[in-house]
Amino acid sequence: MIDSLKKIFSSTDQESFSGQSKPDISREKSTQLYEKAKQYFPGGVNSPVRAFKSVHGVPLFIEKGDGCLIWDADGNEFIDFCCSWGPLILGHNNEKVRESVTAALQNGLSFGAPTALENELAELILKNNRFIEKIRFVSSGTEAVMSAIRLARGYTNKDKIIKFEGCYHGHSDSLLVKAGSGLVTFGETSSAGVPKSFAEETIVIPLNDRKAVEEAFSQFKDQVAAVIIEGIPANNGLLIQEKEYVHFLREITQQNNALLIFDEVITGFRLGFEGAAAYYDVQPDIITYGKIIGGGMPVGAYGASNEIMSRISPDGNVYQAGTLSGNPIAMAAGIAQLSVLKSGVYKSLNSKALAFVEALQRYVSAKNYKVKIFSAGSIFWIAFTDKEHIRAASEIDPQSMEKYKVMHRELLNRGIYFGPSGYEVGFVSNAHTKTDLEKAKRAIFESLEVVFRNGN
């Protein structure tokens, strides 16, 4: 086995690992901050997944970031593969983004009125994205999707939305639903406070199931305003869909006078400048984007054709507004980040990420570990499975999350920061160097040895 490993791995990969756990890092200050935070916030956090409920220990309180590194309140240093959940494609504290924000700050924080920066960012996006003709800036991905749904309903004069199990589209009432029993069913609320009548306008069906889509359109004929899908579902594992299936969704929506919405809050400007629309070579009717267009600042957007966007107020009768929409600081950050991305980052970034993923896969395959690393562009997901493909949420083994829990703890103790859930994906940024990735590979190998040392 060792000889075969030497033939296919780099020098780092060739080393043997003891499978011994590392001592836990100090979380004394993070623990103190968390106990105090619980006095102020539900669960001590301002977003649920941050609470570390799916992994060991208390959440880490982060003090700063630079490049691909972050530091917590206890002074622990980590190579970060969370990247603020994706938008920091250039890494933390990027110099050009920081300088652009600093310059904009000198003129004020917010005006609630148009600025030239909005025009500049919109032009940068629209001139380099053949899939949309007009855009509207908002303040978050959730707001972008909520607005896209309202636009789809207003444009089609229909009410029902088809969404898929395993796809997350923010926490708006219409989309915070889960599937009931049966092949095609109305959604059931997955959160208290969401009226049943809202959820009943959303039809939830399995991913990668053509028959379910066909039956949905048959059962609710002439009632479906839109089908919404993540560009590549990446909020519940990385559920990479086949190109033929995505094109099928395009065809069946057109046949039924419904719209196809791509939620590209994660994939937009991450897979490439034109996101999943270009990845699958398909023209959605509406596309939503997230904080990557603001360099990590609070921002989102939705875009479509001139015809569809003409329905948005003040041109049309679909109302959507926002005091902080087009915020000048977010626009300045976005102009800087997207200008760098447009200059030619993707080829080297995606190649770097692919080499990283392939090295991980070679290692686990040679060790016969039940692990598969799925990837698209610079997004990756470590799944504890022996399946060649996972295209639907139902194909994920919930018990595998116990292995991730062990791995996550071991990685933190080795200076590697992943998202605090085995369902979350990881991101390689342009700031990750070869040295950083070699260190991360070693830490992942060592952590996997701990996970599997007892034959688990």
In 9-109 the beta strands, taken as DSSP E runs, fall at 62-66, 69-72, 77-80
CA-to-CA separations, 64 to 38, 70, 100, in angstroms, rounded: 22, 6, 19
d(CA 268, CA 291): 10
**Pair 9, 394: CB distance under 8 Å:** no
**Pair 293, 133: CB distance under 8 Å:** no
Active site residues: 168, 263, 291
**Pair 161, 152: CB distance under 8 Å:** yes
**Pair 83, 427: CB distance under 8 Å:** yes
Helix axes 434-452, 401-413, angle to 10 degrees: 130
CA-to-CA separations, 145 to 142, 148, 189, 349, in angstroms, rounded: 5, 5, 18, 28
d(CA 372, CA 387): 7
d(CA 304, CA 310): 9
Buried b (16+ CB within 10 A) or exposed e, 219-234: ebeebbbbbbbbbbbb
Question: Which residue in the block uniquely carries the two structure tokens 């956090």?
Answer: 45
Residue 399 makes CB contacts below 8 A (sequence gap 6+) with: none
Q: Give, in degrees to the nearest 5, the angle at Cα 132 between 206 and 236.
A: 25
To the nearest 10°, report the CA torsion of 122, 124, 128, 130: 10
